[in-house]
Amino acid sequence: MVEGPLPMNSSPINGLTPQGKRSLIEEELKASVAWLIRLRWLAGVGVILTAWSVNAILKLQLFTFPIYLIGAVILVYNSIFYYIDKKIQSNPAATQEYTRLAHWQVGLDWLAMILLIHFSGGVESPAILFFVFHIIIAAIFFTPRTAYIYSLVAILLVWLDVGLEFLGILPHYPVEGFLQEALYKNIWYVLAILLFFGATSLISAYLAISINQRLRRREEEVMELTVNLQRATERLQALNDGARAISSTLELSEVLNRLVKNTAEVMHVHACFIRLLDKTGQHLERVADFGLSQNFPDNGSIDVQNNPLIQEVLSGKIVNIPDTSQTSLLQYPATTIREGIHSMLVAPLIGKSGPLGILGVYSHNVNHFSKDDETFIAAIAAQGSTAIENALAYQAIEALDATKSQFVRMVTHELRSPVSVIKSLLRTITAGYAGGLNEQQRDILERASKRAEALQGLVDDLLDLAAGKADIKSHGEMEPIRLDDVIEQVVKRFEISAKEKEIDLIWENHISEITPMVKATQEGLDRIFNNLVSNAIKYTLPKGKVTVKLTRVENEACVTIEDTGIGISEEAQAQLFQEFYRAPNAKEMEKEGTGLGLVIVKDLVKRFGGKIGVKSTVGVGSEFTVILPLLLQ
Amino acid sequence: MNKKSILLVDDDPDVRLSLRLPLEAAGYEVKEATNPTEGLASMKKEKPDLLILDVMMDSATAGFQFALDLKSEDPKSELKAFKDIPIIMLTAIHDTTSLRFSPDQDYLPVEVFLEKPVEPDVLLATVKKQLGE
C-alpha cells in the first residue's frame, strides 16, 4: 500500500518563523552529513573485507585489485569529508557548505558504486542492489527533485555500464565460479535486470522521499506544537503576572494603566487602549492608553450610536480588523492610519451587570492578529473586567463612605455650634457675670452645664471619627515626627491630674540608639497618647501606678501604657474598639464618656501604619500597646 | 479712668451675648457687629482698643480676610489706622473647613486664637493680656 507523497508546497507553518524552519532543515542536514560519514567508514572497510572474503573464503575468482582500490579510495575521501565536516561545524552559518558537502559525498559515492559494480561483474554483480541504499540516502539528503535526479543518474550509470559491457565496448569482470554461464551477454537477462533495477530504484526513491517528507512534516508539526506550547506558556505566565499586577490595587486609574501596559507587552503590540462606558451607557470615555504617540488625537467621548465597530464589540463580539485601510467600521480612519495603526483587535469588557467598555490593541502591521490572539485578548478582557469592576465597586464604596462621613460631619457641626453656645451662656451665668444666683439655681445650671459639656465631648469625638474617615488631610499632612517628644508632652500634661489622684505616672524611654521618628500627624499622635494616658489615669484608683514605656522592636516603635487600674474583662476587650462601647466597670466608675475615644485611637493608629492591642486582667490592670513603624535612614 | 472698648464681630447673637456679659462685668465697653462690614463701620466711628473676631461669618473665610485686611503691611492701605489694634480670633477647631487649624502667625497676623466655647475666665485673662493690663 503506497500513500501519495505529501504536497511539496505545504502551507507555511503558523508561528514557526522562516528562520526557525530553515534552521530545522540545517540541523537535519548537518546531522545527516555526520551520520553518512560514520556509515561510510563501514562501507569502505566492508568493500575491502567482502573482496577479501570472496577470494579467501568462498574461493571465488574476483578481479580484486580495483575493488581493494575502490575501498581504499572510499576511506580516503571519507577522511577528507570527515575533516571538512569538523572544520565547518564551528561555523554556524555554513548551510551552503553543508549542501555542497552533501553533493560531493553523494557524487563520489555514485562513482565508487558504479565502479564497484563494474569490477564485480556488471549486470551479474550482486552489489548492484546496493545502489538502492544510495538512492535512499539521497532521498534523505535532498529535495525530492534532486533525489529523483540522482536516482535517474544511478539508473543511467548502471544501464550505461551494462550496455557497454554487453556491446563489448567495456571489458567485463566476472566473478569466476559465481555463475555457471556469462549472463551479461544474455539479452533477456540483461533487459530484465535493467528493468527491475530501474523500477526498484525509482520505487525506492519514491518510498524514501515520501517517508522522509512525512517525517519532516511530522517534525515540523512537533516543532510547531513546541513553539505554540512555548507561546501558550509565555502567555499564561503573562496573563498570570498581569492578573496579579492588576488585582494588587483597587485604584481604578492604576488598574486601567496596568491593564493597558500589560496587554500591550504581552501581545507584543505597540499600543493598547481602554474605553469605558459612562453612566448613561451611550458614550465611551477614553480612560487609559499605552504606546500611542503624543499626536494621536483625543477624540474625547465617543457616541456609541455613531460607531458601528463599538456597537459590535459591546454586543459581546471580538472584532479583528486585519487592515484598517480596508474597513468601513472605523469612525476616524484617517487619524488611525496616520498613527501607523494598520490592524486592530478590539474585545468587550463585560462585567456582571453588562458591558463596561472595550479593550483594544493596535499593531503597525497588517494582518497582525490571529485566532489565537482573539482568544487571548478575550482572556485578558475577562480578567480585566473583573479587576475594573472591583475597582469601580471599591470607588463606589469609598465615595459612599465619604458622603456618609461628610453627612455626619455636617450634622455634627450643626450640633456642635449650638451646644457650644449653650455651654458658654450657662458658664456666664454660673460664673456670676449675669448677676447672683441662689444655691439651687446654681446647682441646676451647673448640672445643665455638665450635660452640655458631655454632649459636646460626644459631638467632638463623632466629628473626629467622621473627619478621619472622610479625609486624612483634615488631620493635617503626615510628616516625620519625633515620637518620644510627643509622648513626653502628653505625659507632662497629665502630671498634675496624676498627682491629684496620687497616681505614680512614670515615663520610660528605652530608645537611645536612634531618634524614634514616625510618619504621622502631630495632632493624631497627640490624640492617641492623650486618650490612652488619660484613660489609664481615669480608670486607676488613687495610689496606683501608670507606666508609659517606649521601646524598639526591630523596625517598629512599641509604646505601652500600663496601669494598675480596674482592668477590662475579656468580654469587654473584644468590643473595646467598637463605636459607643463602654465597659460596664468603666461606666460604673466614670459616668462621662462617649465610647468613641478608643475607636478614634484605633483609626489613627491604623492610618499611621500601626497596630494597637490590649492585655488586661480585671482588678489587676490593663496594658495598651501601640506599635508604629519607625522611619529609619 | 476711661473704659477700654472692645469690638465683637460675630454673626451669632448668642455667642456675642456669652462674650459680652463677662467683658462688661469686668468693666469693658463692648460694641457688637454681625459682620466685617458692620465692624469696619463701627471702627471708623470709634476706634476700639481690641477686636474679637469670629473666624466664620458670611463666608467660611470672612473672618480671616478681615484680619488680613486690617493687618495689611501695605502703607497705602486705607485700614492702616487699625493696624495696631490687637485681634483675638475665635475658632472652632472642629469646623468643617480646611481652616480648622490655626494658620501660622506669619500667614495670619492676629495676636491670639481662642477656641470656642470660650471659658469666661480664659477670655478675660486673654483680653487683659492683649490690652497690656
Give the model confidence (pLDDT) of B67-82 as tens digits.
888 887 777 777 888 8
**H or E segment at A53?**
helix A18-56
DSSP assignments along A460-514, one per residue: HHHHHHHHHHH-GGGG---EEEEHHHHHHHHHHHTHHHHHHTT-EEEEEE---SS
- In sequence order, the β-bridge partners of residue B6 are B30, B50
Across the range A302-324, mean pLDDT stands at 88
| Between residues A290 and A16, the one the model is more confident about | A290
**Residue A474 pLDDT exceeds 90:** no
Residue B94 and residue A460: Cβ atoms within 8 Å?
A: yes
> Burial, A254: exposed, middle or buried (Cβ in 10 Å; 0-12, 13-18, 19+)?
middle
| Ramachandran area for residue A598 (φ above 0: left; ψ -120 to 50: alpha; else beta) | alpha
The sign of the torsion formed by the CA atoms of A413, A419, A422, A427 equals negative
> Burial, A238: exposed, middle or buried (Cβ in 10 Å; 0-12, 13-18, 19+)?
middle
- Chain A neighbors of B24, CB-CB under 8 A: 433
For cell 577479501, what's the residue? A52
- Weakest mean pLDDT among A39-53, A167-181, A491-505: A167-181
Each residue's pLDDT tens digit, A160-169: 999 998 888 9
- Chain A neighbors of B12, CB-CB under 8 A: 417, 421
Residue B17 and residue A425: Cβ atoms within 8 Å?
A: yes
Q: Which pLDDT score, from 0 to 100, does residue B59 have?
A: 61
Q: What is the pTM of this model?
A: 0.47
Closest partner residue to A463 among B12, B94, B116, by Cβ? B94
Q: Does A474 touch chain B (CB under 8 A)?
A: yes
- Weakest mean pLDDT among A76-80, A296-300, A478-482: A296-300
- Chain A neighbors of B90, CB-CB under 8 A: none
Chain B residues contacting A via beta carbons under 8 Å:
12, 14-15, 17-19, 21-22, 24-25, 92, 94-96, 98, 100-101, 116-121
**Residue A95 pLDDT exceeds 90:** no
C-beta separation of A357 from A391 below 8 A: no
**Identity of the highest mean pLDDT range in A21-30, A469-478, A570-579:** A570-579
Percent of chain A at pLDDT exceeding 70: 91
Structural domains in chain B plus CATH codes: 5-130 (3.40.50.2300)
Cell of A443: 446647682
* A-B contacts (CB, under 8 Å): 58
**Identity of the highest mean pLDDT range in A216-220, A246-250, A376-380, B65-69:** A376-380
Closest partner residue to B21 among A413, A434, A473, by Cβ? A434
What's the whole-number average pLDDT of chain A? 84
> What is the distance between the alpha carbons of residues A519 and A482, in angstroms, rounded to a whole number?
9
Each residue's pLDDT tens digit, A105-138: 889 999 999 999 998 888 888 888 888 888 888 8
Across the range A515-523, mean pLDDT stands at 90
Each residue's pLDDT tens digit, A536-573: 999 999 999 999 999 999 899 999 999 999 999 998 99
> What is the distance between the alpha carbons of residues A128 and A490, in angstroms, rounded to a whole number?
111
> What is the distance between the alpha carbons of residues A147 and A203, in angstroms, rounded to a whole number?
12
> What is the distance between the alpha carbons of residues A259 and A384, in angstroms, rounded to a whole number?
7
A95-119 and A144-167 helices, crossing angle to 10°? 20
Q: Which pLDDT score, from 0 to 100, does residue A437 have?
A: 86
| Between residues A608 and A95, the one the model is more confident about | A608
Closest-CA distance, B14 to chain A, in angstroms, reads: 6
Q: Does A437 touch chain B (CB under 8 A)?
A: no
Confidence bin at B55 (pLDDT 50/70/90):
confident
Each residue's pLDDT tens digit, A334-367: 888 888 889 999 999 998 888 999 999 999 989 9
Q: Which amino acid is at A389?
A: E
For residue B25, the chain A residue with the least C-alpha distance is A433
Q: Which pLDDT score, from 0 to 100, does residue A473 have?
A: 47
Confidence bin at B13 (pLDDT 50/70/90):
confident
Residue A416 and residue B94: Cβ atoms within 8 Å?
A: yes
Q: Which pLDDT score, from 0 to 100, does residue A374 have?
A: 92
Query: Cβ atoms within 10 A of the Cβ of A252, count?
Result: 19
Residue B100 and residue A424: Cβ atoms within 8 Å?
A: no
